[in-house]
Amino acid sequence: MDINHQKRPAALIFAGQGSPVTGMGADLWDINQHTRRIWDCASDVSGIDIRRVCLKGPVNKLVQTPVQQLAVTAINITFYTLLREKGIKITASCGHSVGEYSALYAAGAITLEALFSLIHFRAATMHELSKRNKGSMLAVKGVDYLTTRKLIADHSPELDISCDNSCRQQVVGGTTSALSEFSRRARCETIRLGVSGAWHTRLMQEGVQPMRDYLAAVTIGQPRHKVLMNVSGQPEYHPQAIRENLSLHLTHTVKWTGIVEHLLAEENPPLLIDISHKAWLASLLSDFPAFSPQRLLHCRKILLCH
């Protein structure tokens, strides 16, 4: 496949929390002074030795939201920094859930220090709320957003759609008892996710105003390229609109379907670059009729080709 980065526009797709493994990122943090600065910043801002936790675990600490979000972001930004050095022509960026913050950094809207400060505050807020308002999340296979919304209305109205991932995959979140009832009565394939809270649901409502207050003191500039955001599913350019999207992110559905459809409908479709420690976005993208596997590359493949 032609990956001539001088000619072909590219859209960066940053992963969010996924399936962390001990050792992830270990080949990235000491490549050069730029990558070392990224990992130093993540550790300095949070007070957590992110390198050590990624390298040695234990896994039960690595999976914790306050650690995992920082680790995932450090990996995302390291890959982005290495790609930028190759001269990739970036025309858009987006990120799934916490990956959205990496997309904003890639667009020059926030500094590295602001990025990790925001992630640290966001993750700590979510972690504290998850202890007070206990819940979890469930992947629902083979259904679209509207079908899932009706299933929730019919069987478990206290649940929310956390992620509209594709026309064939949704994620619902809420209390464990409500999820169990939904899984029993919905008569479709469901998979319990290994998360410690019901992210992007009403159980995170108490965190919205603290996020607004924190974001009000953070400098956010206008992105230098298009950033598609989770709450709206559309490009956002104005700093105040970006702040409000990030605040509502805690409780609103991740509109991933809308983001992908927007990218696939562009007149000059970009190369989609999956930025993650483990390629997983392809399984979601394959649900979209307009998607071609030849349009997606994992960031490691590009770096290895140069």
Q: Cα–Cα distance between 224 and 90 in angstroms, integer?
A: 10
φ, ψ for residue 129, nearest 5 deg: -65, -35
For residue 277, give the nearest of 45, 114, 74, 102 by alpha carbon: 74
The pLDDT, as a whole number, for residue 102 is 98
Q: Cα–Cα distance between 255 and 249 in angstroms, integer?
A: 10
Across all residues in the chain, what is the average pLDDT? 93
Summarised one tens digit per residue, pLDDT across range 254-305 is 999 999 999 999 888 899 999 998 877 778 899 999 999 889 999 988 888 7
- Look up the domain containing 177 and give its range: 136-192
What tokens appear for 235 in the block?
A: 């490009």
Summarised one tens digit per residue, pLDDT across range 231-267 is 999 999 999 999 999 999 999 999 999 999 999 998 8
Helix (H) or strand (E) holding 184: helix 176-185
For residue 92, give the nearest of 81, 80, 102, 107 by alpha carbon: 107
Residue 21 has pLDDT above 50, yes or no: yes
25 near 54, Cβ under 8 Å? yes
Q: pTM for the whole thing?
A: 0.95
Of 192, 209, 227, the residue that ends a domain is: 192
Higher per-residue confidence, 7 vs 215: 215
Q: Cα–Cα distance between 108 and 29 in angstroms, integer?
A: 21
Summarised one tens digit per residue, pLDDT across range 101-125 is 999 999 999 999 999 999 999 999 9
The set of residues, in sequence order, having a beta carbon less than 8 Å from that of 34 and lying 6+ positions away, is 81
Beta strands in the chain (DSSP E): 9-14, 89-95, 136-141, 160-166, 169-174, 190-192, 226-228, 271-275, 296-298
Are residue 249 and residue 116 in the same domain, yes or no?
yes
For range 59-88, the mean pLDDT: 93
Count of domains observed in the chain: 2
> Residue 1 — pLDDT band, cuts 50, 70, 90?
very low
Residue appearing with tokens 């001990």:
22
For residue 97, give the nearest of 246, 306, 297, 293 by alpha carbon: 246
Calculate the dihedral angle through the C-alpha atoms of 216, 219, 220, 221, rounding to the nearest 10 degrees: 140
Least confidently predicted of 3-7, 26-30, 204-208, 241-245: 3-7
For range 65-75, the mean pLDDT: 95
SS3 121: helix
Are residue 54 and residue 124 in the same domain, yes or no?
yes
The set of residues, in sequence order, having a beta carbon less than 8 Å from that of 126 and lying 6+ positions away, is 65, 197, 199, 204, 207, 250
The pLDDT, as a whole number, for residue 306 is 57
Pairing of strands 9-14, 89-95: parallel
Are residue 286 and residue 160 in the same domain, yes or no?
no
Look at residue 252 and tell me if it is in a domain.
Answer: yes
Q: Cα–Cα distance between 132 and 129 in angstroms, integer?
A: 5
Q: What is the CATH number of the domain that holds 80?
A: 3.40.366.10
Residue 201 has pLDDT above 80, yes or no: yes
Q: What is the CATH number of the domain that holds 175?
A: 3.30.70.250
Look at residue 3 and tell me if it is in a domain.
Answer: no
Q: Cα–Cα distance between 230 and 256 in angstroms, integer?
A: 7
Are residue 157 and residue 228 in the same domain, yes or no?
no
By the 10 Å C-beta count (0-12 exposed, 13-18 middle, 19+ buried), 64 is classed as middle
> Residue 4 — pLDDT band, cuts 50, 70, 90?
low
Are residue 225 and residue 123 in the same domain, yes or no?
yes
